[in-house]
Amino acid sequence: MDRPIIGITMGDPAGIGPEICAKALNSQEVQSVARCVVIGDSGVMRQGLQTAKIKGIELHSIAAINAAQFKPKTIDIFDLNNVDLPRLKLGQVSKMAGKAAFEYIDKAIDLALDRQIDAITTGPINKESIRKAGFRFDGHTEILAARTKTKKYAMMFVSEKLWLMLATTHLPLNAVSRHLKKKKLVAQIKMAHDFLLADRGKKPRIGVAGLNPHAGENGIFGKEELKIIKPAVEEAKKMGIDVEGPLSPDAIFYLANSGKYDIVIAMYHDQGLIPLKLLSFNHSVNVTVGLPIIRTSVDHGTGFNIAGKGWASPDSLIAAIKVAAHFARRK
């Protein structure tokens, strides 16, 4: 395959998304592995170039992927023209920005399903803005699953130091236990196994974290390990999967980082994301597993506190584009 075509959603126009798009697409690292199209608003993207202090770049607005030029010193932008710049306030939650960000994702999904682009890489969105615009989703993952009619999916993160999959995603901590289900956990372990087997050509070693301190200490600190997690692990083992668990959450990430496991299944968002970001902040990539399309994303938020200041790092976006290109070539 030639360099794959990656559709990059600009993210929330009031955040750092436009700035990091400008910086990433000006990078030789990105240009050497992918042909990129930003899906966004040309006025906001022009503002992003100014914030990034990048000169000599032409914005080429298109209404169809086959009109993209993919040439040096040019950023092709699938222009939805959906932001009123005088009304846009950087660093602030707004209905307009949320609606625009959702529309970029929606268009990217259409293009990917129609095979006009080979993968999607998403910029950061603000969940409050999305909800203000009337869209009742917890994040990108849920939007993608709904739009592609995908029932079995998982949020996975990849980095040089740690691969991670989440058993649950954006939930209050007191809701995690009741959302853990044996059948779903078995499916997630299998998804992790199948994904890494296809990517690396050999069976991965999977570690499954417990939910409670010391993985419950045989029921002393909680019953979820005995009733849900251990039975799921045992069932996965019967399928020929190399998996261990439930393992103490305070040790499993050290073991994975030391090379014992190729991927960890964490029981909830912060259990997994805290060690991941400690090890690989700005260099890890969010991948949605189970979709009929390829989707990667940055590992950070909209950065409202630094929007418009020129300080935002494009490293996570560059990594996400490179991972998307890798998976697109493999497919």
Count of Cβ atoms closer than 10 Å to residue 134 Cβ: 10
User: What per-residue confidence (pLDDT) applies to 143?
Assistant: 94
Q: What is the mean pLDDT of residues 78-93?
A: 97
The answer, yes or no, to whether residue 1 has pLDDT greater than 70, is no
Q: What is the pLDDT of residues 90-140, one digit of tens each?
A: 999 999 999 999 999 999 999 999 999 999 999 999 999 999 999 998 889
Q: What is the per-residue pLDDT for 138?
A: 83
Phi, psi of 81 (to 5 degrees): 45, 55
Mean pLDDT, rounded, of the chain: 96
Q: Identify which of 274, 331, 327 has the alpha carbon closest to the alpha carbon of residue 297.
A: 327
Q: How confident is the model at residue 214 (pLDDT cuts 50, 70, 90)?
A: very high
1-150+291-331 matches 152-288 in fold: yes
How many other β-carbons are positioned within 10 Å of the β-carbon of residue 169?
15
262, 196 contact by CB (below 8 A)? yes
CA nearest 40: which of 97, 118, 86, 1?
97
Which amino acid is residue 58, in one-letter code?
Answer: E
Please state the rounded mean pLDDT for residues 237-265: 97
Tokens 């261990």 belong to residue: 244
Query: Is 80 exceeded by the pLDDT of residue 267?
Result: yes
Beta-bridged to residue 101, according to DSSP, are none
What pLDDT sits at residue 313? 95
- The band of 213, judged by pLDDT with boundaries at 50, 70 and 90, is very high
With the C-alpha atoms ordered 118, 64, 320, 139, is the resulting torsion angle positive or negative? negative
Asked if 266 and 192 count as a contact pair (C-beta separation under 8 A), the reply is no
Write the burial class of residue 70 (CB in 10 Å: 0-12 exposed, 13-18 middle, 19+ buried).
Answer: middle
Domain-wise residue ranges, the chain: 1-150+291-331, 152-288
| Domain topology for 1-150+291-331 | Isopropylmalate Dehydrogenase (3.40.718)
Residue 304 pLDDT > 70: yes
Residue 87: pLDDT over 90: yes
- Band (170; pLDDT cuts 50, 70, 90): confident
**Which of the listed CATH numbers 3.40.50.150, 1.10.1030.10, 3.40.718.10, 3.20.20.100 matches domain 152-288?**
3.40.718.10
- Is it the case that residue 180 has pLDDT exceeding 70? yes
Q: Which residue has the tokens 């996975």?
A: 156
Three-class SS state of 233: helix
Task: Give the type of residue at 80.
Answer: L
